[in-house]
Amino acid sequence: EAMRRLLDGAFSISADFASRFPGLEARANRYLPGLKGLVGVLIALVTVVVLLEVWGLGAFSWFRYGRGGARLLGSVMSISLTLLLALLVWEAANAAIARHLAQLSANAATARSARVRTLLPMLRTVLGIVVTIFITLNVLAEIGVNVAPLLAGAGVIGLAVGFGSQTLVRDVITGVFLLFEDSVAVGDVVTLGGLSGTVEQLSIRSIRLRAVNGDVHIIPFSAVTTVTNQTRDYGYAVIDLVVDYDADTDLVASALSEVGTVMRADDAWSGSIMAAIEVMGVERMSDMGVVVRARMKTEPARRWAVSRELNRRVKLRCGELGIMISPPGKVVQVPPPPPAV
């Protein structure tokens, strides 16, 4: 009973420590019943050995150097220390990951939070595999199994699997580097391999995009050669206004500037617009008319909404000022040649 109370006190965590490492007390208490049972078994075994020694059976001599009891006790101690070390490493890593994720939920940016939330579980899985392999090899070595052939066989199998799954390995490596470089995160609007959409999920080997019409694209990382991220830091709502050749381009530029100023002063859109409209002037002259370009700096995910509203207001303002917007696909008719004499 005293040992149980001592274990309960050892596993109690202060409020300050629990706030710094959320979930640590719950994870520690998972091991408390098993540890109590193990301590009870150890006390029972020690009691039995002492009783056998008292009864004159020489139980202490079983644990002298070179005897079977000493070898068994050494193996048990080695395996126990290995398990304890692996458990400490695993729980320390889990506590650090949980603490970092809690901090991200409180004050980190959405893109960085999504990237780290994707990477950390992946790293935890890799750490779990490494710890499991280490424990298994150590336990097999302690119970007398020769692990050298196992290591050699695992190396050959790993080499064969590596050659047979080059695409899978390339998927994983490319995906890890893309995540570490913060090239793409959940929630971004990107173009990958000629396909565009919103990133819904990042796995260890592929990325899932949701297109604007609802289609889902599953793209392996090995197929990604370039990444076009359209929602990073800021965006531009660009308008190319095609007007008739008879239109006054100075009046068109003034109208664009006026629309941008009014729109930025609107409470419904001021939070999405980061700077005043920039009228860049005559971009080019095409067969459809004169192209006047302007752009507005916006929040990264709001460029399309701002662009649609800007187009609507510009169209209305051009109608008020009598500016003729050139229709798309203007047809130029060429008269036929005169008949041959």
pLDDT tens readout for residues 291-341: 999 999 999 888 899 999 999 999 999 888 888 887 655 544 456 667 776
**Tokens found for residue 319:** 């109608």
The answer to whether position 194 is within a domain reads yes
- Are 315 and 242 in a shared domain? yes
- Are 314 and 272 in a shared domain? yes
- Are 256 and 312 in a shared domain? yes
Report the 10 Å Cβ neighbour count for 208: 16
**C-alpha span between 155 and 236 (Å, rounded):** 53
**C-alpha span between 99 and 94 (Å, rounded):** 8
- Are 201 and 258 in a shared domain? no
pLDDT(10) > 60: no
**C-alpha span between 227 and 192 (Å, rounded):** 5
- Are 225 and 174 in a shared domain? yes
Residue 56 DSSP label:
T
Domain extent at residue 189? 168-229
pLDDT(247) > 80: yes
Residue 184 DSSP label:
-
- Are 260 and 303 in a shared domain? yes
| Residue 183, domain CATH | 2.30.30.60
Region of poorest pLDDT, from 35-44, 182-191, 280-289: 35-44
**C-alpha span between 30 and 69 (Å, rounded):** 32
**Tokens found for residue 137:** 């090899």
Handedness of CA 100, 101, 104, 105 (dihedral sign): negative
Q: What does the pLDDT look like over 287-302, one tens digit per residue?
A: 888 999 999 999 988 8
pLDDT of residue 111: 45
Question: What is the mean predicted confidence (pLDDT) over 124-141?
Answer: 76
Tell me the DSSP string of 188-247: -EEEETTEEEEEEEE-SSEEEEE-TTS-EEEEEGGG-S-EEESSSS-EEEEEEEEE-TTS
**Tokens found for residue 289:** 């008319």
pLDDT(115) > 70: no
| Residue 308, domain CATH | 3.30.70.100
Contact 237, 310 (CB under 8 A): yes
Question: What is the mean predicted confidence (pLDDT) over 213-227?
Answer: 86
The answer to whether position 109 is within a domain reads no
Domains held by the chain: number: 2
> To which H or E segment does residue 293 belong?
strand 289-298
- Are 311 and 257 in a shared domain? yes
The pLDDT mean for the chain works out to: 75
Q: Which residue has better confidence, 233 or 236?
A: 236
Question: What is the mean predicted confidence (pLDDT) over 256-274?
Answer: 91
